[in-house]
């Protein structure tokens, strides 16, 4: 069995090895539609469509055979299994994550910002950037925090929207919801509601929130297009999407790292390339998509997150060329608007 991203990588290799123009055109067209699938259903569907259609008439038999082999390796329900496996591994990893990540909070937020955040939430910070600086929270806003974790951004957002507004803190781990509820209580906030559910099927009505925030969460989903479609659905017209996430150039990371469960849990293996993140948001209907902030993430930065095992960090130091060790990913803050 191989993962979708490996299969995509193989296709790029076939493309590089092919000099015949019609073949290159057909494969390029396929790849441009496929984009980086990151475990989503798109890859197998596109490949099946490509092999069933007439676009490949010019493709030499050898290449077709290899493409068929790739499809075979993916297996008939490989994507679905892969998606479930990914969710399970993320659940397990975050269920047991220790309360030892205060250094993440001190890296991302100023001491003024943290002054009124309970230590329990600071000690469980697992975000990747400070998107709240770009969220333009207004008093009275109804805010959805996707993947609230220990509650640090939920608390900060609830303080900013004030008593006339509210924050809905969504997570698929009851343990995290419990921690966020405790943090809200410690901070003396009663405008926070915890909500159990998955970001791929947000249990909220259409057009019910003004602002969506999320920090280091979308990169964990095996179905990112679906998450973005759900965000567009629950945001009111002209509502705002403002999230922090890791982005990566998958082809620059060795497959031995991309296929490590701990690297997916650490937000790296599942991360999209920046242009794919933007493409998927636009495909979901968002407008005014803007990258507000970019920051390189080094291997040393990864060590702040206990999701990365010592073994994966050692593998990264061993396999990633020294010149690239200062930027294995880029943390970005992206804003977008839901159309009117
Ligand atoms: C990297 S942590 C970020 C936590 C928090 N946003 C922060 O900044 O500290 C990811 C969080 O997303 C949650 N999560 C992961 N996949 C999810 C999914 N499919 N649906 C809902 N929550 C999910 C995890 O349980 C975890 O609490």
Average predicted confidence (pLDDT) for the chain: 86
Is residue 252 very low, low, confident or very high in pLDDT (cuts 50, 70, 90)?
confident
Distance CA 161, CA 85 (A): 37
The predicted model gives 158-162 an average pLDDT of 98
Question: Tens of pLDDT along 183-235?
Answer: 999 999 999 999 999 999 999 999 999 999 999 999 999 889 889 999 999 99
Q: What is the pLDDT of residue 85?
A: 81
Phi, psi at residue 298, to the nearest 5°?
-95, 170
Is residue 37 very low, low, confident or very high in pLDDT (cuts 50, 70, 90)?
very low
The residue whose CA is least distant from atom 13 of ligand 1 is 147
Please report, for the chain, the start and end positions of each structural domain, with discontinuous segments joined by +. Answer: 4-73, 83-337
**Residue 26 Cβ contacting ligand 1 at under 6 Å:** no
Q: Give yes or no for a contact between 208 and 232, defined as CB atoms under 8 angstroms apart.
A: no
**Residue 268 Cβ contacting ligand 1 at under 6 Å:** no
Nearest 5 degrees, angle CA 105-CA 235-CA 94?
Answer: 35
Phi, psi at residue 85, to the nearest 5°?
-60, -45
| Orientation of helix 78-95 relative to helix 61-74, angle to 10° | 50
Tell how far the Cα of 250 is from the centroid of ligand 1, in angstroms.
22
Tell me the chain's radius of gyration from C-alpha atoms.
21
Question: Tens of pLDDT along 131-148?
Answer: 999 999 999 999 999 999
CATH 3.40.630.10 fits 83-337, yes or no: no
Range name among 6-10, 106-110, 211-215 with the lowest pLDDT average: 6-10
Provide the token pair at 7.
């299969």
Share of the chain above pLDDT 70, in %: 76
Q: What is the pLDDT of residue 66?
A: 64
Q: What is the pLDDT of residue 250?
A: 73
Tell how far the Cα of 148 is from the centroid of ligand 1, in angstroms.
6
Tell how far the Cα of 15 is from the centroid of ligand 1, in angstroms.
37
Sort 144 into a burial class: Cβ within 10 Å, 0-12 / 13-18 / 19+. buried
The predicted model gives 243-254 an average pLDDT of 89
Range name among 41-45, 112-116, 117-121 with the lowest pLDDT average: 41-45
**Residue 221 Cβ contacting ligand 1 at under 6 Å:** yes
Question: Tens of pLDDT along 261-289?
Answer: 899 999 998 899 999 899 999 989 999 99
Which residue among 93, 220, 269, 329 has the greatest number of ligand 1 atoms within 8 angstroms of its CB, and so is best to mutate?
Answer: 220
């Amino acid at each position: 069995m191989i993962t979708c991203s490996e299969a995509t990588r193989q296709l790029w290799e076939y493309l590089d090895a092919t000099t015949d123009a019609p073949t290159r055109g057909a494969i390029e067209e396929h790849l441009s539609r496929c984009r980086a699938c990151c475990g989503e259903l798109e890859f197998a569907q596109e490949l099946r469509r490509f092999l069933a259609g007439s676009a490949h008439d010019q493709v030499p038999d050898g290449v077709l055979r290899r493409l068929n082999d790739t499809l075979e390796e993916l297996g008939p329900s490989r994507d679905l299994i892969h998606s479930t496996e990914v969710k399970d591994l993320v659940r397990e990893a975050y269920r047991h994550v220790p309360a030892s990540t205060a250094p993440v909070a001190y890296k991302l937020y100023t001491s003024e910002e943290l002054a009124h955040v309970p230590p329990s939430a600071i000690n469980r910070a697992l975000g990747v950037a400070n998107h709240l600086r770009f969220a333009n929270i207004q008093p009275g806003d109804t805010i959805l925090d996707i993947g609230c974790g220990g509650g640090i951004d939920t608390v900060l957002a609830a303080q900013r929207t004030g008593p006339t507004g509210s924050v809905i803190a969504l997570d698929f781990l009851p343990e995290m919801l419990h921690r966020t509820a405790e943090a809200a209580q410690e901070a003396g906030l009663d405008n926070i509601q915890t909500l159990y559910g998955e970001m791929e099927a947000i249990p909220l009505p259409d057009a019910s929130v003004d602002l969506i925030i999320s920090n280091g969460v979308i990169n964990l989903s095996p179905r990112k297009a679906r998450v973005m479609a759900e965000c567009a659905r629950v945001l009111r017209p002209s509502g705002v999407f403002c999230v922090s996430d890791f982005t990566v150039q998958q082809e620059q990371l060795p497959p031995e790292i991309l296929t490590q469960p701990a690297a997916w849990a650490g937000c790296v293996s599942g991360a999209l390339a920046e242009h794919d993140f933007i493409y998927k948001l636009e495909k979901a209907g968002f407008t005014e998509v803007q990258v507000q902030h970019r920051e390189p993430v080094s291997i040393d930065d990864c060590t702040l997150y206990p999701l990365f095992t010592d073994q994966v960090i050692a593998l990264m130091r061993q396999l990633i060329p020294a010149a690239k060790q200062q930027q294995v990913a880029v943390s970005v803050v992206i804003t977008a608007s839901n159309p009117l």
